[in-house]
Each structure stands twice: as C-alpha cells, then as structure tokens.
Structure 1
Amino acid sequence: MIEKLRQRILDFINSDKDTPVLAGLAVGFYLMLFYYSGNFALANSLIQFLFFTAYYVLVPVVVLYAGYKILPLFKMEGYRKNYLFVVMPVLFFYYIFELIALPFTEKGTLVAIMLVGWFVSKKYRKYYKLFIVLLFFLSVFNLPPILEAAFTKRSTQWQKQPDNIEQVTFKKKPNIYYIQPDGYTNPVNLKDSIHNFDNSNFWGYLNNSGFTVYPNQRSNYYSTLLSNSATFSMKHHYCAGDIEEYSARDIIVGENAVLRTLKHNDYKTHFITEKPYLLINRPDLGYDFCNVAYCDIPFLKDGWSQNYDVIEDLKKQMQNTSQGGNFFFLEKFTPGHISVYKKLLDNEFEKEIDAERATYLNGIKDANVWLEELIGYITKNDPNGIIIIGADHGGFAGFAYSLQSQYKTNNRLKKNSMFGTLLAIKWNDDNAKLFDKDLKTNVNLFRVVFSYLSQDKALLNNLQEDVSYVHLKEPQGIYIYIDDEGKHVFEKLENVQD
C-alpha cells in the first residue's frame, strides 16, 4: 500500500499536466489549518470561518489560477510552471509573516524568496508539485490541536446553580458598576518583599470615598478567561478543558448566571471595554449594550492594537440610562501583568524580574489615576450606585514572565502574586456588613452582592469553595495552590465531576 502511494505521488510530480487550482488549495489548506491550530479560541465563529476560508484558501487559488491563465495572453505560456514554482512559496511566506513576528524585514525576505525561486525554477520548475505534496503532508501536523478543540466535551452542567439564585427578587435596584482593572493585586501583596510598593494614598482615597477594601482578596484562577468564566458563572469550572480553549468568551459576555439574575430583576446590562479582547471570536452577546461593534474588530489581529475610552463611553451611555436598574461591566487593561513570554536567557532572569516588576508597578500608578477619575464621575452623577472594583487575577510580579507560572513554584509570595486581586466595594449602606464577611475569592463575589440586594442570607449557604487552582505543564495537571482556608498546598485535582 505504501509503495502504491509512493508511486502515485511520483507519477503526480512527474506528470506534465499542470494543477494551478490544486497548488492554491495546498497553500490555503495548510495556512488555514496552521492559523486555527494556534488560534481556535479566537476564531470559532461562523463568520470568521467563512472569512478565513476566503482569505487563506480562495485568494491563493485565484492568484495562482488567474496568473496561470493570463500568462499566455502576453505570449509567456512557457513560463507558467515557473510562475507556479515561484508564487507558491511567496504566497505561503507572505501569510506566515502576517502571523509570526520576525526580527528581520518581511518585504526584503519575500523579494529574496522570489529571486531565489526564479533562478531555481529555470532548472526545476516542473517540480513545483513537490510543494503541493509537501504542504498537504505538513497540514496533517496541524490537525491534532484543532480536532482536540473541536471535539472536546463541552458541558454546561457545572454552571447550574445549587439554589434558585437566578430567580431571586432584589429588594433594592441600584445601578451596579463592576470595574475590572486587569491584574491589579491586593493590598497585602503590595506590601510584601516582591512588590514593596507604597499604595497608601490610593487606599486612603478609597476609604474616604466610602469603599470597603478587602485586603487579602484573591482569584480562583490565574488568567482573565478562566477567572471571569467562574466569576460570571458563580461556580467553579476547575480549569475544564473547553473553557479557555473554546467557550470562555461565550460565558463571560454571553448569557451567564450573573446576567440572567440581573435580567430577571429587569436590569439593563452594559459592557464597556478598553480593548475587544473578550469579543475577538464574536460571541453571542448577553449584554444589552456594548461599546465595541463587531464590524470594527479586525479579523486578522487579536484586537490589542485597538483602544476605546472607557470613561467617555460610560459618560455617553449613562446619559441614556435611568438612576437604577443598570449593570455596567467596565474593563480596563491597566495595570495589566508582566510580559507573557520569556525575553532573556535563563541566567538573566533576575534582571528581567526587576524590569518587569518596575513596569507593573508603574501600571499600578496609572491605574490609580484612571480609577480616581472614573470613581469621581460615577459618584458625582450616581451617588447611590454600587461601585465594585474587582481585578481578575494578580500581576505575576516576581516571575520573569507570566507563562513561567505554568511550572511548579514553592515560593508563597509568587503564588500570592498570581492570585491576589484588588477588591473594593462602595455599598449602599452599612447593612452590607451582614453579608460580606465571608467574601474571600472572586467566584463568590456576585453571590454575595445578590444576597445583599435581595436581603436573602440563605443564598450564602451555597458559597463556592475559596480555592485557587493552577493548570501546570510541569508537573502536568490541575493543582490546588491555595485551599479553602487560605493555606498554601500542592494537591493534584483528580477526577473532577461536573
């Protein structure tokens, strides 16, 4: 069988019959699989699939076929094989350079590929079909991550609530402002030896503005997608395989438990974000309003280059809303966290740690200025609103790069840096003290808020465990880093049930 396949491939390569359409399909098929193998979570909507099919597959087919057919019109029929031999790799690397940042000039490289291809084609032009075979063969290696993402079991069972919280009736309906400054760590962490940062002026500002600051608040998960999926579901997902790779954005900005509870109480919901990070894959919005239109989000980029003014967009939206019954999710990517990827050599990690820490702490200063402006505006225009400042995860200070956290560490301060989050709430009245005494982690944030608004303490009987989980590459698995009592442990999670 292998010998027959080998012979067919050789016959195909040595055949005098040209296949410009197949050449375009080979280039496009590989590129599309290459893109989806690393970006499935960012492009799992139908409209994106159609766009990438046209961009990666149809365009190379048209370019190769059209050029092949046009050459005879200029009496260059003898160069058609040369054209296919040269243009196939040029198209291939043009698309690759769009997806991968390289330390050299892409245009110059493409010109070099074209020139080299032209000279080589003079002797070997008939072997352009070797590119076709090679690309189809290499495409196979892009399939496993796509198939894994496409066929991973997706269960919504874990999102079901243990009580009737989604049908609870609020006794009061103030506007709620949920402000999320990405990566802003908690007061306890900022005092430790890793951060060593004096943030007393900002804490004083919050106290004077009527906020309750929760000094040792932490997240249950260490990424925006994992953390917010649990927060807006008010349930643990235990790093389920499909969450970060497929359905996190659909949960966070879709019809989640928090939005269903709010809408049951006739709340209008508004999502205002600085960058369209949570919207890249065009999820079905559960919000009544979003400041980012899908038609403005690029298909080929991840949205990080786009910026929207959260405060200005909030001002515009507040002009069209009532003094009660509105929920605003305001997402700001400051202070952020340290760099995701490794920059320096292993023996230069200490230098990188110091540089990343300094950048992160400067981000804290910037976030403070922005938060004071935002809080001042909200308080002036809606003095009875509930304002929640709640970060999604920590800033990873103490690491050389944030993905370093995927390898086991015994350093307690580093683990705190991963999970410690700022939480400060400006409640309506002192009655909140009867409801928030057990608020320790993000997964229980909205259950506590809804218990307060409904004046139903029974909802607090179903608080989730205050456990912080990490998904490690080495040793591989899902582990508990901080348990329900706040103790640092290292326990592997086995056979988690929905």
Structure 2
Amino acid sequence: MDQRFPSKARDWLKRPTCTGFVIGLYSVLFYLSNNLTLVHSTMNLIFLLGLFLLLSTSISILGGRILSASVSAPGAEKALTLLLFALLFVLLAAPIRELSLPMQLLLIAFALVYTLVLQLPAYYLTVGLLFMSAAAASAMGLEIYKMHAKSKELAAEVPPEWFQPEIRRAHSVYLIQPDSYVNTADIGRGYYQMTNFGMDDWLKERGFTVYPNIRSNYADTLSSNISIFEMRHHYYERHKLSGEVYFGRRIIAGDNFVVNFFEKNGYETYLLNFANYLTFDGCFYSYCHTMPKTVSLFGAEPFIAPDDVDRWANSVNSTLERFPKDRRFVFIEHSMSPAHISYTQGESRGREKERRRYESKLREANRWLQAVIEEIQRTDPDPLIILMADHGAYVGYDYVQQATTLTEDPDLIRSSFSIYLAIRWPTTYDGRFDDKFATPVNVFRYIFSFLTDTDSFLSSREEDVSYLNITEPKPGIYAAIDESNRVVLKPRSGL
C-alpha cells in the first residue's frame, strides 16, 4: 500500500466524486485564467461552473459505479484512470486542438503509459491537478486585479469636454461593418489582383462617397473596434496573453463613448451582429440582436453556407422594420463576411486557394450589404450610413497567424490593414471632411463634428498610424504604417 499520503486523505482522493470535481475545477480555472475577457460576467461564470463541475463530477461518479460493478478491482482502477484522462481531454478540447498533431499523440501516449505501464494510482492525477488548479487560480487573481485597475483608468480617460456639444442634425446613423472588406485602391494590386464586382459604382449611384486609401489602426476585430468606439489609440497596452484587450468586448458591445454620446442626445442604440462573438460579456446598447446560430462551446467557427448571407440580410431588415426610425444609431456587424483568410496553418488551403476563396466571398458580402443598404434607404429619408470594415483580409499570407512574424514586404503589411470605407452623407453635408479620412480611430470625430456642427472633437485628433503586435523574431508593438501612409516598421518604444 502506498504510504506517501495519509490514509484518510488517500481514501478521499480515490473517490470518483473528488476526482471528477477536481477535473472540473481545473478546467474552469484553466479557461477563466486564459480567457478572462470572455467570461468575467456573472452569467458566463455560472454557466462554466455548471457545465464543467456538474458534468465532470456526474460522469466520474457514474463511471466509477459502473466499473466497480462490472470489472475486477485492478481492472476497474485502470479503466477509471483512462476514463478520467478521456474526460480531461474532452473538457480541454479547445487548447488541445491548438497543439500540433505530434503533441496531441504525445499526450495520448502519456495517458496510456501512465495507466497501463506505470500503473500509478488515479489519485495521483487528482493531486497533480490540485496543484495546477492553485497555479491557475493565482494567475486568474492577478488578471482580475489588473482588470479592475484598468477599469478605473478607462473611466478617467474620457475628456469631459467631449460630452458638452449637442447633436443639432438629428439624422439616424448606421455603421455597417463587413469583416475584412478591402479598400478600393488595394483590391486591384499587390496580392489581391481582383475587383469588388462593381460595389464602388453601386454605392456612388446611391449617394455614397467612396474613400479609396483607408486602412485600420489595428489588425484584428477587437483591437480595431475598440479604437473606433473609444476614438483613441490603445496600442495593445491592455493586451492579455490570450491576445485580447481588457474589457474589449464590453467596450464594443456598447460600454463606450460613441454609444453613450448618442444615448445622451436622445438616440436609441442597436447592435445587430451575425454571431455572439462581440457579446459574450453582455450587451449595453438599447437593443441587441444576434442571428440564431449554432454556437460551439469550444470555439469552433460555425460553417457559413451561401444562403446564410441572405438570411442575415432578411434578419437585419426585419429587425430594423420593428423599431422607430427617428434618432437611432445602429451598428450592423457581420464577423464572417467576406471574412479574412484561414486563421491557422492547419486550416489553410494555401496562399492562392485562400485568395480565390476570399474573392468568391466578396460577391456574397456584396449581396447582403446591398440588401441592407437598400432597405435603410427605402425607409429612412436622409440617413448617415457608414460602410467600414474592421481590418484587412491578409491575402498574400498562407494564414492569419503569419502576420505576427515581422516582414518587410509592404504588400503583406498593407494586406493586414486595408479596409473599405464609404459614407452616405445627409444632404446638408458640404464635403469639408472628405480629404481628412485615413484611419478609423478618427472617423467618429468627423461624424460628431458634422452632427453637432462644432469643431470640439477635432482639437485632439489621434495619429493616423497602424500598429502591429509582433511576436517574432523581436516581440513588441510596431508602428507598421505612418501618418503619411508609408510602411515604416518601427518599434513603438523607439518612436
């Protein structure tokens, strides 16, 4: 008998109830410590606790009883250990899936050797996970402290003078955001070598001004949208190891200056998004709508069928029809159309196939964009419509993650940032901002200057610089494109 643990503690650790609970506890703490920006709302925390703790404990108890009743004691011990490893692998499916195939096979081999060759007791696994849970809890505590400190900084950063002007031109405002839609200048050159199938002409016929050389300030959806709605740079300074900015989703989902300013001026605010990617932490608009989809618990993107874009357009239009049309701000976001190239190496079809796939999805994106814009213009006599993408499509790379490796190829760098911008201005607009647009961080400064008929928002414009978060060979935040639209690649610390 193993005497390295006191007998009572060993007996307690051997219970399937304890082992299942510890597996669930470790899984909860692992996901929380690595994805705190996704699950720091109360409802998400309750969901995770219920899913992992109840599921793992129930499976362990049931499995232990079945094995004890049907298999000899030594065989039951081995079978239970394998069951526990299988349960752990299932609960940690998302991070394990990100490992290379050799690493996945190595984990499976370790489980088999642990169980069948070394024949170590199952409770050793429990003890190990308890230590790992303590480490995860410690990391999570540090992240929570940082998040609360950052929340105070965010509250103090908004200049009070921004709230003083009042909207005098009370037009309804629509921000339509197709994912990764590239600008007019870049789509026919560099690695793209395609057209946008007449979208420029279609928009101009409907009163839009198309701005040809626009680029994003940041190269991912969350970071880019945070700068849009905060109207300020953040330089990835609130960046977590998981790759997300603190409170990023909360900011985009309505807890931001743009939405607050509209609501202060009597606007109803609406978020219509294709998936719940932006609203994991709740929604802080007057009204939120997410197109019904099957959502994976472990992060796999839902498959987008060709008719989904049509269903999305119908869903948006029917939702808009139900609400008053006076004084409303509507953010219409489609996180998967046309969408960038594949994110990981394992998903990639290769550079040329990814380019052709993006080209085909442009045509689909045009279909839903045109349907939504037609409906807005049919029902709203003089709207302000902003059609603006979030970041580039990364065409030229084999997969998106390559963009975090430093490159001196200017076409690749521009491919990460190139975005489409077209604005349908109300009839009273005189064109005075047309030569000012360069990056999204300043877009709402010009929009609010027009709506308030003041220059209050223009006194402290942000730099029109695009930033990359580089991981290798020299990690850091780099200014990739400067205010003169030149590719520069300078570490921000050296600027």
TM > 0.5 between the two?
yes
1:71–1:458 Cα change, 3 Å:
closer
d(CA) in 1 for partners of 2:303, 2:451: 36
d(CA) in 2 for partners of 1:259, 1:357: 36
d(CA) in 2 for partners of 1:208, 1:352: 37
How far did residue 330 of structure 1 move?
Answer: 0.5
Structure 1, unmatched stretches of 5+, are: 1-6, 104-108
Corresponding residue for residue 482 of structure 1: 481
Corresponding residue for residue 393 of structure 1: 391
Give the counterpart of 1:128 among 122, 125, 132.
Answer: 122
How far did residue 24 of structure 1 move?
Answer: 2.0
Q: Does 1:203 align with 2:203?
A: no
SS of residue paired to 2:477: strand
Corresponding residue for residue 47 of structure 1: 43
Corresponding residue for residue 28 of structure 1: 24
d(CA) in 1 for partners of 2:43, 2:296: 10
Letter in 2 for 1:56: F
d(CA) in 2 for partners of 1:292, 1:205: 28
Map 1:162-173 → 2, pairs under 5 A: 162=159, 164-173=161-170
d(CA) in 1 for partners of 2:436, 2:224: 19
1:238–1:93 Cα change, 3 Å:
closer
Give the counterpart of 2:324 among 313, 319, 322.
Answer: 322
Letter in 1 for 2:207: G
d(CA) in 1 for partners of 2:16, 2:380: 65
Mapped contact 1:386–1:425 kept (Cα < 8 A): yes
Q: Per-residue displacement from partner, 1:161-180 (whole Å, max 9, x unpaired)?
A: 44623332111111111100
Corresponding residue for residue 378 of structure 1: 376
d(CA) in 2 for partners of 1:199, 1:164: 41
SS of residue paired to 1:471: strand
How far did residue 85 of structure 1 move?
Answer: 3.4
d(CA) in 1 for partners of 2:196, 2:296: 40
Q: Does 1:190 align with 2:193?
A: no
Corresponding residue for residue 425 of structure 2: 427
Q: Per-residue displacement from partner, 1:168-198 (whole Å, max 9, x unpaired)?
A: 2111111111100010111111121311113
Corresponding residue for residue 273 of structure 1: 273
SS of residue paired to 1:239: coil
Mapped contact 2:78–2:115 kept (Cα < 8 A): no
Mapped contact 1:168–1:261 kept (Cα < 8 A): no
SS of residue paired to 1:462: coil
RMSD of aligned C-alpha atoms? 3.7
Q: Does 1:234 align with 2:219?
A: no
Worse-matched range after superposition: 296-305 or 226-235: 296-305
Mapped contact 2:317–2:372 kept (Cα < 8 A): no
Corresponding residue for residue 341 of structure 2: 338
Mapped contact 1:338–1:397 kept (Cα < 8 A): yes
How far did residue 292 of structure 1 move?
Answer: 2.8
Worse-matched range after superposition: 8-17 or 173-182: 8-17
Corresponding residue for residue 406 of structure 2: 408
Letter in 1 for 2:373: I
Mapped contact 2:274–2:291 kept (Cα < 8 A): no
Q: Per-residue displacement from partner, 1:287-332 (whole Å, max 9, x unpaired)?
A: 11111399x8858244842878442233233333333201111112
Mapped contact 2:316–2:372 kept (Cα < 8 A): no
Give the counterpart of 1:96 among 92, 108, 113.
Answer: 92
Letter in 1 for 2:123: K
Give the counterpart of 1:312 among 311, 314, 326.
Answer: 314
SS of residue paired to 2:382: coil
1:163–1:297 Cα change, 3 Å:
farther
d(CA) in 2 for partners of 1:231, 1:375: 21
How far did residue 140 of structure 1 move?
Answer: 5.9
d(CA) in 2 for partners of 1:72, 1:34: 30
SS of residue paired to 2:246: helix
Mapped contact 2:19–2:126 kept (Cα < 8 A): yes
Mapped contact 2:197–2:363 kept (Cα < 8 A): no
1:62–1:250 Cα change, 3 Å:
same
Identity fraction in percent: 28
How far did residue 13 of structure 1 move?
Answer: 11
Mapped contact 1:267–1:327 kept (Cα < 8 A): yes
d(CA) in 2 for partners of 1:12, 1:491: 62
How far did residue 338 of structure 1 move?
Answer: 0.8
How far did residue 450 of structure 1 move?
Answer: 0.8
1:91–1:267 Cα change, 3 Å:
same
Letter in 2 for 1:491: K
SS of residue paired to 1:154: helix
Mapped contact 2:182–2:420 kept (Cα < 8 A): yes
How far did residue 398 of structure 1 move?
Answer: 1.1
Q: Per-residue displacement from partner, 1:68-114 (whole Å, max 9, x unpaired)?
A: 568888998897646643432232233234764499xxxxx9xx99x
How far did residue 401 of structure 1 move?
Answer: 0.9
Mapped contact 1:275–1:306 kept (Cα < 8 A): no
Corresponding residue for residue 3 of structure 1: none
1:8–1:30 Cα change, 3 Å:
farther
Q: Per-residue displacement from partner, 1:15-51 (whole Å, max 9, x unpaired)?
A: 5674333322332233223333443332222222222
Structure 2, unmatched stretches of 5+, are: 100-104
1:96–1:13 Cα change, 3 Å:
farther
How far did residue 335 of structure 1 move?
Answer: 1.0
Structure 1 or 2: more helix by fraction: 1
Corresponding residue for residue 358 of structure 1: 356
d(CA) in 2 for partners of 1:158, 1:10: 49
d(CA) in 2 for partners of 1:286, 1:16: 49
Corresponding residue for residue 369 of structure 1: 367
Letter in 2 for 1:437: D
Which has the larger Rg? 1
Mapped contact 1:394–1:419 kept (Cα < 8 A): yes
d(CA) in 2 for partners of 1:438, 1:8: 76
Worse-matched range after superposition: 466-475 or 81-90: 81-90
Q: Per-residue displacement from partner, 1:378-398 (whole Å, max 9, x unpaired)?
A: 212213111110101111111
SS of residue paired to 2:194: coil
d(CA) in 2 for partners of 1:119, 1:431: 73
Map 1:10-25 → 2, pairs under 5 A: 18-25=14-21
d(CA) in 2 for partners of 1:437, 1:391: 19
1:303–1:91 Cα change, 3 Å:
closer
Letter in 2 for 1:133: V
d(CA) in 2 for partners of 1:70, 1:419: 56
d(CA) in 1 for partners of 2:98, 2:405: 27
Letter in 2 for 1:341: T
How far did residue 424 of structure 1 move?
Answer: 0.1
Letter in 1 for 2:363: K
d(CA) in 1 for partners of 2:352, 2:76: 57
Mapped contact 1:149–1:246 kept (Cα < 8 A): no
Corresponding residue for residue 465 of structure 2: 467
Aligned residues, how many? 474
Letter in 2 for 1:445: V
Corresponding residue for residue 252 of structure 1: 252
Worse-matched range after superposition: 32-41 or 463-472: 32-41
d(CA) in 2 for partners of 1:158, 1:93: 38
Worse-matched range after superposition: 254-263 or 76-85: 76-85
